[in-house]
Each structure stands twice: as structure tokens, then as C-alpha cells.
Amino acid sequence: MTKIKDATVLITGGAAGIGRLMGDMCLQDGANQLVIWDINKEKLDETTRELRALHFIVHPYSVDVSDLSQVIEVAKRVKSEVGEVDILINNAGIITGNRNFSDFSHADIDKTMAVNSSALMHVTLEFLPGMVRKGSGHIVNISSAAGMLSNPKMSVYCASKWAVAGWSESMRIELESNRTGVRVTTVNPSYIDTGMFAGVKVNPIMPLLKPEILAAKVVRAIKFNKLFVRAPFMVKLVPLSKGILPVRCFDLIVGKWLGVYNSMGDFKGHGKK
């Protein structure tokens, strides 16, 4: 089990949404201090004030995780001012959707991949060596159900989340093989009811996830060293379904009958977690 009590927890995109909720829950579970990285300075200040008013130790840092120079510089400051990180939750992300791939710009592609994929690797690379040296630690990587399912009209987002899922699993196997004591959890949620996915089409089989419930599942996964968090239940069936169904059948059942391939038709989301 991973101990949250007395741990130093760092959450990217931690000033709002599920990042804020996971930070709250870790502090309530006895985390010694919370390090919040976020690009939204106003939300960062607001969250810090509210948590400090409850007598929690919070260290806020304004960071654009897509800027490698900022990631390296701020990580250096964290290690100097706060100390080594015990639990890292790579949560920051953006969404680009409701467009065919041919309608994306080069800038859209680069920004999405930088925030949703490369940033997680760069941030982890800054804090993983410290975890390995002490023989313990936990890294949580927020991917998506879109990292398991090729959903049309969100091809670039899917690409970024598939990259996270593949890298996260590969790193987990490496760390376990080398007996480092560092754990990895990959999170693959469907659409979350935070405003990020405003306008997506859902159904009773694939409903909008309540952010409080997902955050609690992730914190529980940290405690019990779970390899994956996949929600709602239907997401857990995706690997099996893709493995046993012919592609055209999968497209028909999941895409047409369950409506997943049309889910981005009215998407309006605000873009950031």
C-alpha cells in the first residue's frame, strides 16, 4: 500500500476540477503538504487561500506544463523549497474536439501533444529519480477512455491520451522489473462532468462521471497500488471487446448502437481540466 499520510503530494492542474478534489482528499487523508501546479493564477491563488484557511500546508506554483523550461525551473524550486515528492499526480490537460483531423492546425496538434503527453513525461522525469533513490513513491497518470478507444472528431486528443497510456504502462513495467519500489497508476476515465466536456452526448451506459466519485477512485487506487482506474464500468470492457470483436462489429456496436462515435457532435467544452 502507498501511504498518503505524511506524504508530499504534487498535482498538476491542481487548482480546479478533479485536480482540486484529489488534493483535498489527499490532505484530508493526512498528506503532510500539497504542491499545486496550475496555469490559472487566479484559481491557484483562490484554492491556496481556501486550503490554508483550513490549516493545510499548500505550496502553489504557476506553471505552463507545455513549456519545458518552466517545468525544469519550477521542479528545481520545488525540490529546493519543499523537498522530494512522494506522490505525483499528472492531471493537467486540455481537450480539442468536434473537428475532423483535416480541420486541425499544426499549432493545435503541437499544443495538445505538449500538454497532454510530453508534459507528463517531462514532469515525471524531474521527480522520478528522487523516488527511485529513496525506494518508494507513486505516480498517477491521467489518460482517458480516449486512450483506449479511437473516437472520431477527437483524433488529436485520442493520440495524446494513447501516448500517455502506452508510456505509463511501459514505465510501470520498467519500475517493477527493476524493483524500484515506485508504483504507477494509469487512469482512463470517460467524460467527466466538470465543464471540460460540456455538450458531449452521453447515455445510461456511458454516463458523465461525477468528478467527486472519480477523484475518490483515484485516491483509493493510490492507497491500494491499483494499476488502473477505468470508469464507468463499460470502459473496463473496452480491451476485451476490441480483442474478441471484428473491427466492423465493434464499430457497429460501440460506435453506432451505443452512440460513442457521435458523442462529440455538440461538444462545447471549456478546454482545460
Known catalytic residues are 157
Which among 218, 113, 188, 127 has a CA at the least distance from the CA of 157?
113
- Rounded Cα gap, residues 28 and 25, in angstroms: 5
Q: How many CA atoms are closer than 13 Å to the CA of 193, on its beta-carbon side?
A: 12
AA letter at 240: L
Report whether 59 contacts 9 (CB < 8 A).
no
Cβ contacts of residue 110 below 8 Å, gap of 6+? none
Strands 87-90, 8-12: parallel, antiparallel or unpaired by DSSP? Answer: parallel
Would you give the distance in Å from CA 177 to the centre of its chain?
Answer: 24
Helix runs in the chain, H state only: 17-28, 41-53, 68-81, 106-113, 119-134, 155-177, 211-223, 233-236, 238-244, 247-250
- Rounded Cα gap, residues 137 and 126, in angstroms: 13
* Sign of the four-CA dihedral 97, 102, 103, 109: positive
The three-state secondary structure class of 71 is: helix
Report whether 162 contacts 147 (CB < 8 A).
yes
